[in-house]
């Protein structure tokens, strides 16, 4: 497993991966208006790391570095459980300069379990236009 910085060559693959991963994982959401270009909007201005195995892109994480905020972490549905998520999360956490933060949708029980397993803790709840979320912190 290789974790590396995003290049423009990754964009078409990660667009497809992002759409497929959301449709597979976020079954409680209406996906009728989701598009491939959502990846571009969601990751704009963020540092993106790519997980690659045997030359295939299998996941990505997008981080707001200055805020130590993990905005997105998605794994190809066919590679769930491969260790790619853990490898990406470890790479993200190693770049934090202080307490890390993320928002996880309350319906996303699988993601909550994943983050808790890696030392993240719920510190608050909130509401956004995407629905209810948990604010989670990772303390160095």
Per-domain residue ranges of the chain: 2-138
Of the candidates 96, 4, 83, 1, which has an alpha carbon nearest to the alpha carbon of residue 50?
4
Cα 45 to Cα 11, 39, 103: the distances in Å are 14, 12, 18
Q: How confident is the model at residue 136 (pLDDT cuts 50, 70, 90)?
A: very high
Residue 74: its pLDDT value, please?
Answer: 97
β-sheet bridge partners, residue 105: 133
- Region 98-127: mean pLDDT is 96
CATH architecture observed for domain 2-138:
3-Layer(aba) Sandwich (3.40)
What is the average per-residue pLDDT within 111-117? 97
Classify the C-alpha dihedral 5-108-100-2 as positive or negative: negative
The residue count of the chain comes to: 140
Average pLDDT, the chain: 95
In angstroms, what CA-CA distances link 58 with 83, 88, 109, 139?
A: 10, 11, 21, 27
pLDDT of 50 strictly over 90: yes
Higher pLDDT, 28 or 94: 94
Express the helix, strand and coil content of the chain in percent, nearest 5 each: 35, 35, 30
How far apart (Å, rounded) are the C-alpha atoms in residues 128 and 17? 24
Q: How many angstroms separate the Cα of 139 from the Cα of each of 67, 86, 114, 117? A: 14, 17, 16, 14
Q: What percent of the chain has a predicted confidence (pLDDT) above 90?
A: 89
Q: Which of the four pLDDT bands, split at 50, 70 and 90, describes residue 84?
A: very high
């Amino acid at each position: 497993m290789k974790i590396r910085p995003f290049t423009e060559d990754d964009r078409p693959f990660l667009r497809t991966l992002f759409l497929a991963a959301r449709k597979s994982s976020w079954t409680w959401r209406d996906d009728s208006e989701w598009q491939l270009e959502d990846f571009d909007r969601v990751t704009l201005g963020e540092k993106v790391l790519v997980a690659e195995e045997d030359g295939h892109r299998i996941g990505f994480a997008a981080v707001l570095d200055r805020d130590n905020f993990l905005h997105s972490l998605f794994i190809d549905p066919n590679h769930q459980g491969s260790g790619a998520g853990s490898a990406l999360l470890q790479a993200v956490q190693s770049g934090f300069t202080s307490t890390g933060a993320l928002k996880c949708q309350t319906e996303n029980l699988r993601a909550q379990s994943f983050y808790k397993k890696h030392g993240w803790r719920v510190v608050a709840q909130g509401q956004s236009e995407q629905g209810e979320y948990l604010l989670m912190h990772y303390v160095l």
